[in-house]
Amino acid sequence: MRITGGNLRGRVVHPPANLPIRPTTDFAKTALFNILNNYFDFEEVKVLDLFAGAGSIAFEFASRNAKSITCVDESYHCIQFIKKASEDLKIKNLNCIRTDVFQFIKKPGESYDIIFADPPFVLEKTDEIPDIILENNFLKEGGWLIVEHQSKRELKSKAKPFDVRKYGNCGFSMYKHD
């Protein structure tokens, strides 16, 4: 798993083969961060990474000096890996929470500038994520929610994305809090 941009660009992180993950491809990450770079000053951004897996997206935000990054994942092994890799990469502004993502987002809490959700492609409840996030005010005004999904899938939620991008088998549906 390679970090594609920022001050850690080119660093490779090696998650164990037994982690229940499907990291976002370098091609899709690069394209996504090219879009985000046009709209956000990463040093002012507070990020929430849902279904964080091995931390691929979190490490991209950290490499670009995001103000703070919170990773949420249900897997003990994924959370432990992210913590260890963060130490190895000397990332200080990353926090990990081990819990079920749906339990986490159903309890109103902090608000974020960018929320990235990368649920398993087969998860049927993925369609619920935009509505729950927006209803519970997890996004700051002007904030974006990005949900990764299979490119052939169209998310069915009350909230409508302002943009959908497709890169190979990967799709990003983007929602805004105005």
User: In CATH, what number is assigned to the domain containing residue 117?
Assistant: 3.40.50.150
Position 14 in a domain: no
Residue 141 included in any domain: yes
Any domain includes 7: no
**For position 18, what pLDDT does the model report?**
80
pLDDT class of 121 with cuts at 50, 70, 90: confident
Residue 99 lies in a domain: yes
pLDDT surpasses 90 at 1: no
What are the beta bridge partners of residue 2?
A: 12
- What average pLDDT does this structure show over 87-100? 96
> Does 3 map to a domain?
no
Residue 5 falls inside a structural domain = no
Domain count, the chain: 1
Domain limits at 125?
Answer: 20-176
Rounded Cα distance between 2 and 14, Å, is 9
pLDDT digits (tens, 9 = 90+) for 142-166: 999 999 999 999 999 999 999 999 9
Which pLDDT score, from 0 to 100, does residue 16 have?
79
Q: Are strands 46-50 and 68-73 parallel, antiparallel or unpaired?
A: parallel
> Quick check: 12 and 1 in contact, CB under 8 A?
yes
CA contacts within 13 A on the Cβ side of 119: 19
**pTM for this structure?**
0.94
Q: Could you tell me if residue 81 is inside a domain? A: yes
pLDDT band at 124 (very low <50, low <70, confident <90, very high): confident
Is 13 domain-assigned? no
